[in-house]
Amino acid sequence: MTARTLPIALDEQTITDAVAMYTHLHAHPELSAQEHETAAYIERALDDLRIEHFRCGGTGVVGLLRNGDGPVIGFRADTDGLPIAEQTGLPYASTATGTLPDGEVAPVMHGCGHDTHITAALTAARMLSTHREVWHGTVVLIFQPGEETAYGAKAMVADGLWDRAPRPDVVFAQHVMPAPGGSVIVRPGPMATLADSWRITVHGRQAHGSEPERSIDPIVLGAAMVLRLQTIVSRELSPRTPAVVTVGTFHAGLKENIIPDRAQFTVNVRTPDEDSRSRVLAAIRRIIAGEAAASGAPEPVVEELNSFPRLVNDDALTERLTTVFAGVFGADHVDARALGMGSEDAGWLWDAIGVPGVFWGFGAFDPALFDDGAAPAGNHSPQFAPDARMAVTTGTTAALAAILEVAGTGAAR
Ligand code: ZN
Ligand code: ZN
């Protein structure tokens, strides 16, 4: 193991302030694309650090931390919460509510830990702005809204992110994971799956429950579609291709003796690459059209709800960061495991302009929680409860390590 350490270390005051920032953000989550208070909070924090900033992609905020000539690094922190009723029992647990796009009022929680990302990015920015001798260049701090709905990265790029901020040499993003504090998870190549969500409306013909011969039953038809969709992964893809087709909602009918006129369901698809993605999506269209035709029903209506792009880590840059992380956290605290079938839109921030990027996970939980193969509640669970101090120290340290690897001057304090 190389005995490399950071030229700047987190002091107790900075950690205390970061924990206070984290607990405030945790208690005040907002839903995707509605991060108005969060954006205002970030803008005030950037003002305090005298970092210039601009709005981008609605509730997105971009800070430009300039320190002379040198590399330009994009660093992303996503900012949205989730419609989850928090059950952590923490003193700073959220009691917030928000309004979903369909008008329903829902409880809101930072159930994916994006509050740790905001805090780590702002705390790293504070360290870099007070220790300007150890680095040079520009850090583009990207506070991205709407990650959970695959909205934010595309919205910021479409709103001219890379025309308004200096074009980066590299882009980084990090995500808190159910892993021990003081550890990171990173690997070259794909870090997450492509993901697509569709809503499908099946139109039948309404009739009395006693007169099925006068109906086209959208429930029977929709049920046949749901079952046949499950043959795509098992019969149309190679067993070596990891893919998921999940029907997560199915709604139809109001009363047991009325055959309704429609059924509606949503399907979520996860695939490892563009080729398998287009095969699965084409198969879904073919199956729903074919089943509708078999029932004598009109062609169902397909609406795209969201689409997560690929997330691929640059090989050479990942190798450099793996070495740096091993020096800072210890080689046995750098994990190269695959991350499962999750999805993330950060990759769009670098794919959109063709520059290298790296996305890594960081741990934020008491290592004792992992004894004997146990694990704490994971992201999106109502019990997801990172340790505040471990979250802010691990997240900030990982951010500083990556930024200084590219922009460090070699100066030590
Ligand atoms: Zn999430
Ligand atoms: Zn997340």
Tell me the pLDDT tens digit for each residue of 184-210.
999 999 999 999 999 999 999 999 999
Cα-to-centroid distance, 346 and ligand 1 (Å):
12
Cα-to-centroid distance, 77 and ligand 1 (Å):
13
Average pLDDT over residues 391-399: 98
Domains and CATH numbers, the chain: 12-188+314-407 (3.40.630.10), 196-307 (3.30.70.360)
Q: For 238-275, how does the pLDDT look when each residue is reduced to its tens digit (9 = 90+)?
A: 999 999 999 999 999 999 999 999 999 999 999 999 99
User: In which element (H, E) is residue 137 found?
Assistant: strand 137-144
pLDDT at 337: 85
pLDDT at 340: 77
pLDDT band at 55 (very low <50, low <70, confident <90, very high): very high
Q: Which ligand is nearest to the CA of 175?
A: 2
Q: Which ligand is nearest to the CA of 78?
A: 2
Cα-to-centroid distance, 195 and ligand 1 (Å):
13
Token readout for 105 is 């009022």
Cα-to-centroid distance, 21 and ligand 2 (Å):
18
Cα-to-centroid distance, 147 and ligand 2 (Å):
7
Q: Render the burial of 154-175: b for 16+ CB within 10 Å, e for the rest.
A: bbbbebebbeebeebbbbbbbb
The yes-or-no verdict on residue 413 having pLDDT over 90 is no
Residue pair 300/286 in contact by the 8 Å Cβ criterion: no
Residue pair 123/82 in contact by the 8 Å Cβ criterion: no
The yes-or-no verdict on residue 98 having pLDDT over 70 is yes
Helix (H, G, I), strand (E, B) or coil at 391: helix
Q: Name the residue with tokens 């990173």.
A: 186
From CA 155, how far away is CA 121, in angstroms rounded? 20
Cα-to-centroid distance, 406 and ligand 1 (Å):
28
pLDDT at 1: 36
Cα-to-centroid distance, 365 and ligand 1 (Å):
17
From CA 311, how far away is CA 358, in angstroms rounded? 9
Q: Kindly report the average pLDDT of the chain as a whole number.
A: 96
Average pLDDT over residues 226-241: 97
Question: How many CA atoms, within 13 angstroms, populate the side-chain half-sphere of residue 227?
Answer: 6
DSSP 206-257: -EETT-GGG-B-HHHHHHHHHHHHHHIIIIIS-TTS--EEEEEEEEE-SSTT
pLDDT at 4: 60
Residue pair 77/143 in contact by the 8 Å Cβ criterion: yes
Cα-to-centroid distance, 405 and ligand 2 (Å):
25
What residues are neighbours of ligand 2 (ion), with CB under 5 Å?
A: 112
**Close Cβ partners of 318 (under 8 Å, ≥ 6 residues apart):** 186, 187, 188, 358
CB atoms within 10 A of CB 214: 11
Q: Which ligand is nearest to the CA of 76?
A: 2
Greatest pairwise CA separation for the chain in angstroms? 83
pLDDT at 139: 98
Average pLDDT over residues 29-33: 98
Cα-to-centroid distance, 254 and ligand 1 (Å):
33
Q: For 71-86, how does the pLDDT look when each residue is reduced to its tens digit (9 = 90+)?
A: 999 999 999 999 999 9
Q: Which ligand is nearest to the CA of 381?
A: 1
Q: Quick one: how far is CA 283 from the chain centroid?
A: 27
Q: Which ligand is nearest to the CA of 79?
A: 2
Cα-to-centroid distance, 238 and ligand 1 (Å):
28
Amino acid letter for position 310? R
DSSP state of 166: P
Average pLDDT over residues 402-411: 92
pLDDT at 2: 41
Cα-to-centroid distance, 278 and ligand 2 (Å):
25
Cα-to-centroid distance, 114 and ligand 1 (Å):
8
Average pLDDT over residues 110-122: 98
Q: For 299-357, how does the pLDDT look when each residue is reduced to its tens digit (9 = 90+)?
A: 999 999 999 999 999 999 999 999 999 999 999 999 998 777 889 999 999 999 999 99
Q: Which ligand is nearest to the CA of 149?
A: 1
Cα-to-centroid distance, 104 and ligand 2 (Å):
22
Residue pair 361/186 in contact by the 8 Å Cβ criterion: yes
